[in-house]
Each structure stands twice: as structure tokens, then as C-alpha cells.
Amino acid sequence: MRIAIARAEVTRGPAIDELVRRASTGARLERELALRALGRVGSERATPTLVAALHDPDPAIVAAAAGALGVASQLDEPAPSAELTAELVGALARVPDAQRPMVLEAIGRAGDPSAQRAIVPYLANPSPAVVEAAALALARYGRRKLALEADARTALLPLLSGPPAARYAATYALAREHEPPASEAALVAALVARVVDDDPQVRAQAVAAIGKRKLLGATAADGPVRVHVQDALYDRDWRVAVEAVRVLAADDDGRESILSAIWRRVQRVQVDPREAQVVIEGARALLPHEAEGAGLELLRMMSKFVERRAERDIAFAWIDCLVRVELMHTEVAPSYGIGNKRMRIQAYDAVSSFVDACKLPDHLKLPLVVDATAAKVGTPTHRRAAVARLLEHEDPRVRAAGIGALAQLWDDSSEADRRASLTMLIQAIGAPDPIVAGSAVEAAAAFYDKLASADTVTLDAAVTARATHERDAELSAALLDLIGTRTLMAGRDACRAGLAGAPVRAKAARACLVALGESPPPAELAPPQAPPYDVAAVIGTRPVWKLVTTRGPIEIELRPDVAPWAVATIVGLTRKGFYDGLEVHRVVGNFVVQGGDPTMSGWGGPGFALPSEPATLADGAGFVVGGVGIADAGRDSGGSQWFVMHGRAPHLDGRYTWIGAVMAGQAVADALVIGDKVITATVGAAPVSRRHAE
């Protein structure tokens, strides 16, 4: 039955009728699984069945239907519907507390702003699970860029001093609030109290909330809020310190504090490699700014400390290179062609010395030259020479970084150099390599802001020409977004053709046509092509995915009962040796570590797309610490790229495919930096004690 439902879910078309039948007439488990599948499919043909199930006498079926409607809304992000809101709110009143978290979760994903009035009473519910779900439902309004009503915000305040789950959920909601109003003294005091909470995830969210609400300059009862955030730089949990770095980085008075803190923490990296996440985050935050006085001396001390370790550890290599860029920015006088010859030579030598001394591989260190370019180190001629080195490199990742830097040279360039830059951009938009072309499409937006309208003709033509023939879903969507943003009427046919493409492309095509003044017809989403790995190979099993990385082993229990197509693909690719030797290409401290891209750029995949298989609370899944998911660019666009959570991220629940959780090695996952590798990946079976009942 599970196999049949999974196959129908990916087949769609006539198979939706089979799912509707199973959701309406099967036994409870069969109905729940079919309802979940209909939510993932998101078809207009599925909606009547899901809404009807909200009136089922079995509360478990009501919860499954609500969860499915929430997933469908989060995947496709339609405008909130008053009718669907009324149905979900009605269902909330018809189920007992055991099922209310699932319905509240769905209201947060699909309800219109008026539904907040129905959520607020449940913030005082005796069930901790209901209270947490209600607060997280309000948090989801922030993700959807919908404002909280004043009563909802006020009702969250008491939870900041409530039980642990409620404290986290309320703090998270206030950290995610869309366009928060000026904060009252009571809220400031409550958030400051949470900066020293027992739970490090609450502390991290409290620091993030202070930043979101721009409270650094506020004063609490025991002193300036800024002092509390500066203290968080030394928090015993590295994730809290990362959030403090982010908040203070935008503040002139905060940067010296960051430098002092990362100097302290860099000395602990060999003992706890996770500390490198704080140091790297802090070093990146300092790059746009010059150091002076005691700060400059700390940078020099740090450089000496990490230099001899950089050859042995890529984390130290990152720190070494980032500090070198900062010192180059500070110590080498920027020159705009009016300085003396010695200054110009000094600037040129500094960039060359950096490239020679940095121990990172070319595809990681050469893009850092862009940071020197952005800081205007050296003459325009030297900066163009540095970027030219990137543009001529054999690695497309390096060339892509060079394309991204072209716009930074514009203001200090001659007319001839500007035309040369525009020519290079246009050539890159037409490049066969999607890494280079994708970077060029992203860079085109900056060029449009600098070009006179008469000079955009050739760029318009390049964008529309590539969009007309591009079939890669993600790159095509980026091109169609650009056509809509720039109102390029010549791209109308490309947008029309995109309606029949993959969901990511079709969504961009619809938005493009609306921007061009058309009302696109409603269209059924095209079914994804079934991956070349059969779910029958994994359903009923409990695989364990073991990644031996350059930092150590990570063991992940995979859940084919929740995401059979994704797990079947992970297992199949692993047994082919697909993941062996691939680098981690993305790390965001206190969020995720991501790998699995054969191009190691973020643009690659296995050559086919996976159907989206988001989970709900009913599946027992969640993007908490150690949660593992499939990266994608939108509905049905996942592939081989995986990610592991550093911290909890409820806004990912119900949107991304969750495939399991780390069983062992979370500290290893937390320590991975960009450029670390999966040495080998294997698949085994979970011990009986770790298995979940089907």
C-alpha cells in the first residue's frame, strides 16, 4: 500500500483519482498516507477531498487533512484564502488537544491574517504541545511576510517566561515577526532575560530577535541591551555567539567587540572545532571595514596564531585567508590612480601575496579577491587585473565569482572598460556552463541599475535569448524572474512557454506574465519524472547513511516511511559511489551544513529532479538540531544535495523534504566548513532498537 501510494504521488495525472479514492474509502492509515500525498501533489483536483476530510468524524483524519492543506499552501504560496481559513479554523474547534497541534501548524501555513484571532486563545491552553504549536503558527506569519496583529504579539509576551517549549516558540515568533513595530519596555526586558536562558536555542533566538527589532540601542532595567549581546559573543554555546556576531556586525560600535571575541575563540578551535564557525562568521563580518588601533593589533596576532595551522586544517586556512584580506584592506592604502607609484606597487603586491600565501584551494581563495576589489584595494587597473585572473580561470566556480565582481569595477572604470565588462557579462549569460550563466544572471540585476536605458538593449537581448532556449528549471526560473522584474516585453513568449515546464519554472513564468500585464490561465502542475530509483527498494526498511568526512563520521537514520523517493535516491546514489569525495559547498552557522553537489558549487545535481515530500507533525519529523533534508529551489526541484541542521528551523518544516536525523556525529556536522569533504558514504541498516514502527 505504501509503495502504491508513493508511485501514485509521483505519477499524478490519472493517479490523483487513485489517491482520492484511497483518501476517501481506505482504512485509517491508508487514508492518512493518501491525504499526505494529495497535499504534496497540491493539485486543484485534490483540494475538495482534503477540505471534505476536515469534516471527518475521526480526528486523526481531520489532522492529516489539515496537515496536507498546510503543506500544499507552503509549497505553492498562494494568496491566503478566506474560505480555506474558515475551514481550518472550524476544524480546530472540532478536534481534541491531541490533534490541535497539527491543525494549528496548518493554519500558520495557510490561514489569512484573521486566523490569528483563532490562534491566540490556544496560547493559554493547558497542553504544552498546543501552546508551542500556536506560537509557532504565529511565527509562520512572519515567514509569509504577513504582519502580526497587536493582540497576537501581546499574547506571546507571557510565554517568554513560560515552560521551555513555549519560551522557544514565542522567542522564535518575535525573531521572525514581519516588520515589527517599535518595541515596548516590557518586550525589551523579556527578550534580554532570554539572552541568558538555560536553553541555548532560546538564547540564540533572543539575540536574533534583538537584532530583528533593532534594539541594540535600547536600555533594559540592568543597562544597555548592547552589553547583553556583546556578552553573548562569549556564550558557552557557539550557536549563540554566531547570532551575536550577526547582530553586532551591522553596528559601528559592535565590530571591536567581535574582534576581541573571535580572538578568544580562535584559541579554542583545536579543542572544539565548532568554534571555527564563530571565528569565520566574525572574520567575514569584519571584511568590509578597516581595523584600527587595538583591533589592528589583534588581527596581526590572530594572523600569526593561525598561519602555522592553516596548512593542516581547512578551518584555520579559512580564518587565515579572511584575516589576510582584512589586513590587506586595512594596511594597504587604497589608491584611485592619484597616489604615488610606491603605493600602487604595494597594493598590487599585497593582492599577489595574498593569493600566494592563502592555503585554501583556488576555487575557495580566489573569490576572496572579490572582497579586496569591493574594498577598493589598489588602483582600478590592479583591481581589473585581479578580476581578470578569475575570469580566465579553468574552474567555472572561479569564473562565476569573477562575473559577480564586474559590477564592483563599474564606478572606477573608463567607458571602454565598462563596455568590455558588459560584453563579458553578455557572453557569460550565454555560457554553456550553468554555474557561469547563473552567476551572470544574478549579476545582470546590478548591471541594469548602472546602465542607461539606451545601453540595455544588448543585455535585454541576451537575457531573452537564453530564456527562450533554457530548459534547466532553476536557471530558467532565474531568467524569467529577471524578465518580469525588468518588464522585458520581448521575453513574453519565453514566459508563456515556461508555463508548461517544471513547477519552479512554471511559477516564475506565471509571475513573469503578470508583471508583463497578462493573466496566465490556471494550469495543472506537470508531474515530475520519476527518479531512476524505485521506492520498493527502501519502503519497509530503515537504512542508516554513514558519511565519513574529513572531520569524522556522521550516522544518519533515513526515513523512507516519510520520504520514500528521496531516501531511495540517497541510497541508490550512495551505492554508486556518487557522494564519495564531494565537498561541503555551503555552511551557514547555527543553520545548516550542505553538500552532495557533484559540481560543488550549489548549482549541480544528479541529472534528475525529486518530487517534494515535505512532512508534518503527524510524521514525527522536524528540522530540529540534526534534522536532515533535501535542498531544492522550489517544488519538485530537489536532487542529490542534502543538508544537516545546526539549529532548529521551524520555517523549513512542511516546505523542504525531511529524510531523517543524525544518530551519531552531530558535533562533526557542526564542525564542517566549506571545503571539507565526504571521504566515503555507505548505507547500512539501523539496529532493531533504533527502528520505528511502520
- Which one, of 588, 577, 608, lies nearest residue 669 by Cα? 588
C-alpha cell at 351: 593582492
Kindly give the residue spans of alpha helices, DSSP state H, lying in 213-274. Answer: 225-232, 238-249, 255-266
Q: Is residue 661 helix, strand or coil?
A: strand
Sheet holding 592-595, edge to edge: 586-588, 592-595, 642-645, 627-630, 657-664, 552-558, 543-549, 678-685
CB 475 within 8 A of CB 437: yes
User: Going by C-beta distance under 8 Å and a sequence separation of 6 or more, which residues neighbour residue 486?
Assistant: 448, 456, 460, 463
pTM for this one?
A: 0.94
Residues of the chain with pLDDT under 70: 332-352, 377-378, 687-694
**Residue 689 has what pLDDT?**
46
220 phi and psi, to 5 degrees?
-95, 180
> Would you say the C-alpha torsion 43, 6, 566, 667 has a positive or negative sign?
positive
Query: Domain 535-690: which topology?
Result: Cyclophilin (2.40.100)
**Residue 339 has what pLDDT?**
43
**What confidence tens digit (pLDDT) does each residue in 372-384 have?**
777 776 677 778 8
Report which secondary-structure segment, H or E, holds 664: strand 657-664
> Would you say the C-alpha torsion 505, 507, 510, 511 has a positive or negative sign?
negative
**What confidence tens digit (pLDDT) does each residue in 476-510 have?**
999 999 999 999 999 999 999 999 889 999 999 99
Pairing of strands 552-558, 627-630: unpaired
683 phi and psi, to 5 degrees?
-125, 130
**CA of 220: how far to CAs of 161, 168, 193, in Å?**
16, 21, 10
What is d(CA 626, CA 669) in angstroms, rounded to the nearest whole number?
8
